[in-house]
Amino acid sequence: MGLVLGIYLRGVGLFQIPGGMAALRWGARPVALAGLCVMGAFGALSALSPDWQILAAARFATGAGAAFFFAPGLSLVASYYPHEQRAPIIGLYNGGFSLGGAIGLFGGALLGTVIGWQWTLGAGGLVLLGVAGFGAWILPLEPVRQVVGTFTEIQRAAARVLRSRSLWAISLALAGLWASMYIIAQYFVQYGAEVHPDWGIGITAAIAALVVVAAFPGGVAGGWLAKGSRRHRFLLILCTATIGVVIATIPFLPLYAVAALFIYVGFADGVAVAVLYFIPTYMPDTGGEHLVLGIASLNTIQVFVGSALAIAFGYLAEYGSYALAWIFAGAITIGFLPLLFYAYLGTAHHAHLDATAPRA
């Protein structure tokens, strides 16, 4: 299970920047739709896997499709709106992932008990192919954009974005938060089963799902807060630091307190992620036509660093204790935050050239 999931994440991480480069060359709309098609096709093929090695290969390709969808999809959505209206839209876009995750968690588990995990994966892939077709029909064409020329020019643009100190700073500053949310999703049910078997698997899974469900309204609220406030750094620090404190106290809390605080954790995570993904739309190094590369690079850094931290959590839980592992998760959530002060964020309230505007 760990290998299959890890290989999926490698597909997500390795293809983020190639997905952004492809969007610059051919446009965000066709690349995002192609990513959905790849996800759907290999999701459906996952149902036919005869062994775990074939399943892992299918999940790697599914992760690659996800990489080609996320950053181009966000860039496409952002291109439909003026800069000053983008924050709530980006918050809604990110919140949609949480809503889909909640549907997948409950619906997938329920369907899996009836028809088995293979056909549940297959059904999910087929539904996603249908969604891709619907998107191709309903999504407007992109506004007129600056055409980026040769592959060499796109490589140079990607290299400039990757050299951005501010991009690395905000990506690494929130890598601990990314890792902690991943840890809750993957380990909390197992933690409950091993340390608190009296809670019951159903209750433990429902509590973990609270984080996913609460992140949807958090994403929407985060978009509006990002639009109405200039203090984006403060919002990120406030949400992330309080999440870290809650995570560090998990092993010392009763069931009802964990359930209540997980609602806050999900909401605050939704706010933080919405603000995080809004920042590259106006940050000097990643604004304009480079937005898709900025988002792709941010995701790549967080996936690779965050997944390594999650592996460290697993080792601590296995060879130390879950109490030590949860304290570690809270510490890394907070410990990376000072890197935010190494980022020059500019301000969303100053005039910026839009991605659709002519450039000198």
Q: Which distant-in-sequence residues (6+ apart) come within 8 Å of 287 by Cβ?
A: 280, 281, 294, 352, 353, 355
Contact 102, 14 (CB under 8 A): no
The whole-number pLDDT of residue 360 equals 29
Under the banding of pLDDT at 50, 70 and 90, the label for residue 353 is very low
Looking up tokens 């597909």 gives 11
* Whether pLDDT at 5 is above 80: no
Angle at 297 between CA 293 and CA 299, to 5 degrees: 120
Whether pLDDT at 154 is above 90: no
* pLDDT at residue 162 tops 70: yes
Flag whether pLDDT at 222 surpasses 70. yes
For 313-322, the pLDDT digits (tens) are: 988 998 999 9
Coil, strand or helix: which one is 355? coil
With 0-12 / 13-18 / 19 or more C-beta atoms within 10 angstroms meaning exposed / middle / buried, residue 350 is exposed
What are the distances in angstroms from CA 242 to CA 105, 138, 179, 254, 300?
26, 40, 15, 18, 25
Least confident of 16-20, 110-114, 337-341: 110-114
> For 228-279, what is each residue's pLDDT tens digit?
777 899 999 999 999 999 999 999 999 999 999 999 999 999 999 989 988 8
* Least confident interval from 98-102, 134-138, 317-321: 98-102
Per-residue pLDDT tens over the stretch 276-304: 988 888 887 776 667 888 888 899 999 99
- Summary count for the chain: helices (H), strands (E): 14, 0
Q: Which residue has the higher pLDDT, 67 or 345?
A: 67
pLDDT (tens digit per residue) in 193-210: 899 998 887 788 888 888
pLDDT digits (tens, 9 = 90+) for 181-192: 989 988 888 898
For the cut 50, the answer to whether the pLDDT of residue 354 exceeds it is no
Q: Is the pLDDT assigned to residue 147 strictly greater than 70?
A: no
Q: Which of these, 242, 246, 252, lies nearest to 323 by C-alpha position?
A: 252
CA-derived radius of gyration, the chain: 20
pLDDT at position 339 is: 95
What pLDDT, on a 0 to 100 scale, did the predictor assign at position 358? Answer: 34
Q: Mean of the per-residue pLDDT values for the chain? A: 86
Stretch 124-137: mean pLDDT, rounded?
93
The percent of residues in the chain predicted with pLDDT above 70, rounded, is 92
> Which carries the bigger pLDDT value, residue 236 or residue 152?
236
pLDDT for residue 325: 95
- pLDDT-above-90 percentage for the chain: 41
* Complete domains list, the chain, with CATH: 2-138+150-342 (1.20.1250.20)
Positive or negative torsion for Cα 226, 229, 233, 238: negative
Task: Give yes or no for a contact between 79 and 161, defined as CB atoms under 8 angstroms apart.
Answer: no
Whole-number Å distance between alpha carbons of 145 and 358: 8
pLDDT, position 66: 93
Q: At residue 331, what is the residue type?
A: A
Does residue 143 register a pLDDT over 80? no
